[in-house]
Structure formats: C-alpha cells, structure tokens
Structure 1
Amino acid sequence: MVDSIDIRAFVGGREVSRRQVREWEARRAAAVLAKFASRLGHLATGELVHDATIGELLGSPLDAQRSALTTLKTALGHAGIYAMLKREVAFSERVARTGVAMSRGRTKHAATRLEVPNYSAERFAAWFDNLTISNAETGMVDACPDHYLLRGLPDGRQEVVETTGGSPAASRFLVDYGRTEALTIPADPAYPIQIAGTALLDDGLVIGGVRHQFRDRDGTLEALLTVQFPATVPARLIHQHQWHLACEFGNWMIAAASFAATSP
C-alpha cells in the first residue's frame, strides 16, 4: 500500500510521523504472523500462503506482510478464525464482563486525530460507509494486522474479531450503529460527519463503543477518532489503541485516496 497522501497523526495529543505509525504496524504484523505460525504450523500456513514461509515473511517489507496476513485470514475463513482464536476470545469475554461490572458505568476513551490536506471528509465518510454496507471484508481486515474478522450481519450490526490495543488476546464483539445512548464520547458540533455505535456482547451487554467524527477545514480532512472502554482498562491498552486507530484509519484513507483526495 503506497502512501499516496500526506497523513498527519496525533496520538495522545502528540504528533507522530507516518514512519512511526508504520513501525507500530510492522511490530504488530510480526506478532500476528508469529501467532499464525504457532497456532497453525508450517504445513497449514504453507497451504494458505504459497509463495513464502512465515520466516521469509518476517523479513519482508511491511506491505508484503500486510498482504500475506490478509491472505491468511481470508483463506482461513470465519470458522477457521473462530477455531484459531477460541481460547483468546473466551478469555477476553470474561475479562470484558468483569471490567464492565467493576467499572460501574465509568468509562475511558482512546482518541486519535488525523489531518489529511487536499482530502474530502465527506467523500471519505461515503467511501467508508460503503465499505461497511457492501461488506467488503478484505478491505476492512487489510487495514490493521490486529483485524481478524470484520463483517456485516443480516440484522445490520457489524461483527468484529480483533486484538484491541495492547491486549494479549483477541476479542469478539458486535457494533450496533443504530444505538448511541450508552456512549459517553461527546458529539462535537464542529464535526458535522459522525460515525457512532455501541459495542456489545452477544447477550446485549454494553462493553464500549465508537464515535468517529469528521470535518472539512480549509481543504483538509480533520478526523477525531474515539473508542470507549470500561474504566478498568489499563492505560497502556488505551495508548496502544490510539496507535491502532492511527494505523487502520491511515490505511483506509490511503485506500480511499482515488475517491476522496482533491486537487491541491
């Protein structure tokens, strides 16, 4: 994925370079590739990725690792992802339930800002909405190594299996974009484009949510990307998820550049 646009990222209020975001992504890509090698073994991974071993991929450029990870995840399929991560997902669900109970309604937010000159917030939001509506799973998974499964469900909700921030285990949850009443992330009226929803477990327990806000300002897209967690989530995980947001939305904005970029 070529960086065809200028993306300015602010993680925890501090500006970070695109190189730093890619370095974070590369560390996560290596960790996820190693997980596939450990869980599946060389015979299974060889069946899924034909042109390189995991060892070879670990020494490859980031773009090659990203492509291989997307191939592994899509070739393994939904059932394969569930099977590979079943213990992690079960552990994460127990942790989430305990965290919600102990937090007693209190929340924390992971927030990242992105600025992209010569780029349309309205066009990007339309592109991103279409990515979700059309259930373009490959495009959703490809944006971050920690994405294992993102798909739309028949009831309109989105199923997500991902490693959240710096968590040691992947988690599974649903995002309902028709529900926002549990969100403690304020809607900023200066950002007219809002993508917001509540994160739930299968039985309806609210474990968090998202509010991603966009605006055009003097020819520059400005994005305020925020994820809500229970208050008991450690600060390190919050910080790591800020990098996760910079990674995934940066890659989505690059992928959408032919549609959303404007002339200087």
Structure 2
Amino acid sequence: MDDPIEIRTFLGEENVTRQQVRAWEARRAEAVLEKFAARLGRRGVAELLPDFTIGRALDAPLDVQREALTIMKTGLGHAGIYALLKRELAISERMSRVGVAASRGRVKYSVIRLHVPHYSAQRFADWFNNLTISNAEVDMVDATPDHYLLRGLPDGRQEVVETTGGSPTASRFLVDYTRTEALTIPADPDYPIQIAGQAVLDDGLVIGGVRHQFRDRDGALEALLTCQFPGSLPARLIHQHQWHLASEFSNWMVAAAPTAATA
C-alpha cells in the first residue's frame, strides 16, 4: 500500500528507503506471527482470529499482517500478553540488570533521522503526545509487530512490552517522561520540540531512555530520534533498534497524516 506522505529515513548516516523499512518490518511480522502460532496453537489462534489462520496471515500483505497481530494482541489483553511472554520477560529482566552492572555507567545510542516534506512537527508531536494522554493502546501497539503492550499507568508512567531491536526476547520496562536526569543524550537547541524520559524497571533501576527531538524546517518535519542503552549492549542490537525506530515512527507519521500533513 502506498503511503500518503513521503518519508526519508537515515539510520546514522545511512539513507534507507521506505521499502527497506517495510521489508524489515515484514520480517519481524513473520517472526511474531510464527511465535503466536507456536504458543497459542491452532485453537488459540482461531479464538482470536476466526476464519483466519496463521498460514493465511503469513501469505498476506504487510498491512494485513499488522492488523492481524494487533487484533490478537488486544484480544489476549494485558494478562494474556504477560502469560504469552512470561519466560521471555523474566530472562530479559535478568539480562537488563546484568547489562547495566557490566556497563558501569557507559551508554550507547541508537539514532535515526526522519525528514517528512509538507508535514508539521508540532502537529505530529501533539498527536503523538495525545496517544499517551488518551491511552490509545491500539494505535501504540499497531505501530510495529514488535510492540506487545503499551499503556499509560495511573502514576503517569508508560508501560512498554516490546522486542527491542534485535533482542532474542521481549522486554518490559516503564518510561517516566517526567524524569531525564539519567539521560546523557544531548538536547539539541535547534530542535525546540522534545519528548524525553528514562526507562526503568519496577524497582527504579534505570536501564536506558529516549530523547526524541522535532523541528519544522522549510515546510518539512525533521526528527532526531534517539534511544539510550547500557554500553555493554552488542553493536548489532543497537543497529537493529534503528530499524525498530524507523518502523514505528514511520507508521505513526502515516497514521497522523490526516492531522499533521500540510499539503
């Protein structure tokens, strides 16, 4: 399906096409569909997707696959997602704690840039912030196959269950958008719109964070999107998370086009 807007994507200094981003997303969609098939079985899948088998989903276009995954994830509910990923989440939490300890304060960044002509940075930022404020879980989960659960908590933090970049397991963490003291990602004064917060485990251990920066320039949105990770994380996972960022934010920008596009 053709996008209603043009999105130029830069992974570090590498210019990649929208087709390449969608190809990466398609591979992840296939992997997650196969995980659902293995863990839910035929009857479990049929309960969530009547008259639509995993086999049919694997042969379907990417946008149909994304819709099928979102239906299954929301159909399972929060408890079902926890149960589906119970072992993965336990393993990833242990890995996160070991990674933070081994890093001894060192960090690495996963960075991409997006350029979207005829698009408003402020309108997109308002739309994106409203996803969290209104707790629009379906829109947040639908952005990429590796999202399993994104929701606002009563204390204002955001709970995230996702496969981060090239990790072999899904992880769970909380993002606190009111705290940034643990972030070392520099705030660029040329980007006046900032969305930043630190990622923590339930006991408050900081495992990373985000600083997403936006500006309007010559009638286009320019986004500088950065995730901070423990320095012990392998370079491959950092690079794969660039594709994750490109996938989720490109899809969010397409979804926000009726509000944020200016032409």
Q: Distance in 1 between matches of 2:70 and 2:203?
A: 30
Are 1:22 and 2:13 matched, yes or no?
no
In 1, Cα distance between equivalents of 2:250 and 2:97 = 31
> Equivalent residues in 2 for 1:182-261 (5 A)?
182-261=182-261
Gapped runs of 5+ residues in structure 2?
none
Contact 1:2–1:254 at 8 Å: present in 2 too? no
Q: Which AA in structure 2 matches 1:147?
A: H
Which digits, 9 at most, give the CA deviation of each residue in 1:199-246, with x for residues without a partner?
Answer: 000000000000000000000100000000000111000000000000
Residue 163 of structure 2 corresponds to which residue in structure 1? 163
**2:106 matched residue in structure 1:** 106
Matched, 1:53 2:57: no
Alignment correspondent of 1:42: 42
Corresponding position of 2:150: 150
Give the letter aligned to residue 67 of structure 2: S
- Give the Cα separation in 2 of the matches to 1:71 and 1:162: 16
Partners of 1:75 and 1:40 lie apart in 2 by 12
Task: Give the distance between the partners of 1:155 and 1:253, measured in 2 at CA.
Answer: 27
Q: Distance in 1 between matches of 2:51 and 2:104?
A: 50
Structure 2 CA distance, aligned partners of 1:102 and 1:10?
Answer: 30
Q: CA deviation at 1:13?
A: 1.4
Return the offset for 1:2. Answer: 4.8
Deviations 1:35-66 (A, max 9, x none): 00011101000110113100111011001000
**Alignment TM-score, normalising by the size of structure 1:** 0.99
Q: How many residues are aligned here?
A: 263
TM norm structure 2:
0.99
Name the SS of the counterpart of 2:115 in structure 1: strand
Q: Distance in 2 between matches of 1:77 and 1:233?
A: 31
Give the corresponding residue for 1:94.
94
Over 6 Å off, 4+ runs: none
Deviations along 1:66-107, one digit per CA (max 9) or x if unpaired, are: 000000000000000000001000000000000000101110
2: CA distance between counterparts of 1:64 and 1:42?
A: 19
Counterpart CA distance in 1 for 2:243 and 2:226 is: 12
CA distance in 1, matches of 2:12, 2:234: 15
Match of 2:165, SS? coil
Secondary structure, in 3 states, of the residue corresponding to 1:179? coil
**Aligned residue identity for 2:212:** H
Measure, in 2, the Cα distance between the counterparts of 1:41 and 1:103. Answer: 40
Aligned pairs (5 A) from 1:5-20 = 5-20=5-20
Where does 1:73-84 land on structure 2 (aligned, <5 Å)? 73-84=73-84
Percent identity over the alignment?
Answer: 75
SS in 2 for 1:97: helix
SS at match of 1:248: helix
Distance in 2 (CA, whole Å) between partners of 1:231 and 1:105 is 8
Residue 107 of structure 1 aligns with an amino acid whose one-letter code is V
Contact 1:10 1:16 in 2 (8 A): yes
| Structure 1: gaps (5+ residues) | none
Which range moves more in the overlay, 119-128 or 46-55? 46-55
| Residue matched to 1:180 | 180
- Contact 1:12-1:239 within 8 A present in 2 as well: no
**Using a 3 Å threshold, how does the CA distance of structure 1 residues 155 and 2 change in structure 2: closer, same or farther?**
farther
Q: How far did residue 180 of structure 1 move? A: 0.2
